[in-house]
Amino acid sequence: MFATLSDRLTSTFKNLRTKGRLSEADIDATVREIRRALLDADVAVPVVRQFTGAIRERALSAEVSQALNPAQQVVKIVNEELVSILGGQTRTLNLAKNPPTVILLAGLQGAGKTTLAGKLALHLKGQGHTPILVAADLQRPNAVTQLQVVGERAGVPVFAPHPGNQGADDVLPQGADPVAVARQGVETATARQHDVVIVDTAGRLGIDAELMRQAADIRDATNPDEVLFVIDAMIGQDAVTTAQAFLDGVGFTGVVLSKLDGDARGGAALSVASVTGRPILYASTGEKLTDFEVFHPDRMAGRILDMGDVLTLIEQAERAFDQDQAEKMAGKLAAGEDFTLADFLEQMQQLKKMGSMKKMLGMMPGMGQMREALENFDEREVDRIEAIVRSMTPGERDNPKIINGSRRARIARGSGTTPTDVNQLLERFDGAQKMMKQMARNGGGMPGFGNLPGMGKKARGRVAAPSKRVKGKSGNPAKRAEQEKAALEGRPAAAAQQGSAFGLGAPKAPADFDPSQLPSGLDRFLGGR
């Protein structure tokens, strides 16, 4: 969503890096480019004025003029101000001291409230809560049925005493009372000991008094701990007007951005928190129920400025990867065993649990410079690789070297690919296998960087080898000769064998010690050549 804005800002900062000192004219030109980029991204004009004014004021201060690298200092200022307009700090849900915690979802029709209710329920369920969904949207056709389907997919119960509107018109059925349904839902959650209640309310195609009155009545009847305003991140400038109207008419405690994976300009996300003064709590980033994440202003600012979002990537990996399998793989590599195609298949399956490869790669720093290649990446390539590996026998996965021409043809037919695709996979796997072996030899470090002081072959300085000269030689010629002879033979002198001045004997080497077990390259730290 922020691709265009990110590219514009990155291009602006790239021009600054060529300058050793920044004049006032340079700063004005930079602020002007940032202003244009934000306005093109559909950010609200008052937010743009506040944002660029703060940047210009700080950029002309001593923190930039006296900096060793003024360009980096300007980027730092833009990053901090961007975090500020996105809400400053991350805020989580305010849970009730006495359960259940009641969460009311409000917003326009089509913003994605119903789907987001299921995503939020699944997210809370993963944190150990026991949520229940309440179908209080009785006006939109088949809204109750949709919530029931979403709840079933999320594995969360749905309280739906009324079927809602089953026709084609957006009209509240006769006898339907959304306020009573919401109230009964909270009572049912209390009786069944659910600790979180998520109430899905009706939306409209525009702002009207009836919508506000109904939402306010449900709020008064349920006394929610959180009122979350769900806003479509693709609606642009109108997002600010809609948010302000809901704030005045109903009042909300937080914002949830939906459809953040769209290709719109994304000005709503940069405007709503600053204009309403309410923090953004969550963001919906896709169609799947798992495409849902906590909104971190600092991480989102990093994505916009092409600094990446490695922390979110790590959190997703921690949720997706099996800890036991990871430890098993680490132990296998430490023991010097080969990395096989069976292991590779397990890693691929764990990687698929993290979601879209494009999204994961997009969280890496600097990926904005490879945006075209990233957009052209085919997600189905992962499935093709998995199909090739699954078409192999267990023996072929453990020892790919036995795969000859006839085996390649059979694997290609079984996976629906060509022998060329099989060859390319085997070549890439051979390179990966060599890298894994080198990492195992380095004690888990990256190739070329040892895990010893000096970081392997690329170290600038070498550790001085210990001198063979014996320190503290005795003045007695007989004892001195004995010391030199002991040093040459590699055994302790007689005095050391008898014990030190503190009464401690010389340490003994373990009987099962094998010098070959030392890490490779250690000899140069011990004086070897």
Feature table: binding site for GTP:
107-114, 200-204, 258-261
Cβ atoms 339, 433 nearer than 8 A: yes
Beta strands in 46-192 (DSSP E): 101-106, 131-135, 158-159
Measured N-to-C along each axis, helices 297-304 and 70-85 cross at an angle, to the nearest 10 degrees, of 130
Count CB atoms within 10 A of the CB of residue 329. Answer: 19
Give the closest residue to 203 by CA, choosing from 146, 149, 278: 146
For residues 76 and 63, give the distance between their C-alpha atoms in angstroms, rounded to a whole number.
Answer: 11
Q: Residue 255 is inside which H or E element, if any?
A: strand 254-258
The amino acid at 492: P
Q: Which residues contact 69 (CB under 8 A, 6 or more apart)?
A: none
Placement of tokens 């950010």 in the chain: 43
Question: Residue positions in the annotated binding site?
Answer: 107-114, 200-204, 258-261
Which 3 state secondary structure label does DSSP give 210? helix
Residue in this structure with the two tokens 């309440």, named with its chain if needed: 134
Place of tokens 């921690």: 318
Q: How many whole angstroms separate alpha carbon 375 and alpha carbon 372?
A: 5
Q: d(Cα 78, Cα 80) in Å, to the nearest integer?
A: 6
Nearest partner of 13 among 38, 40, 31, judged by Cα: 31
Report how far apart the first and last C-alpha atoms of the chain are (Å, whole number). Answer: 56
In the 8-state DSSP scheme, what is residue 229?
E
Where do the H-state alpha helices sit in 321-466? Answer: 323-334, 341-352, 357-362, 371-375, 380-390, 394-398, 405-415, 419-441
Alpha-carbon distance of 119 to 199, in angstroms, equals 13
Distance CA 118, CA 158 (A): 10
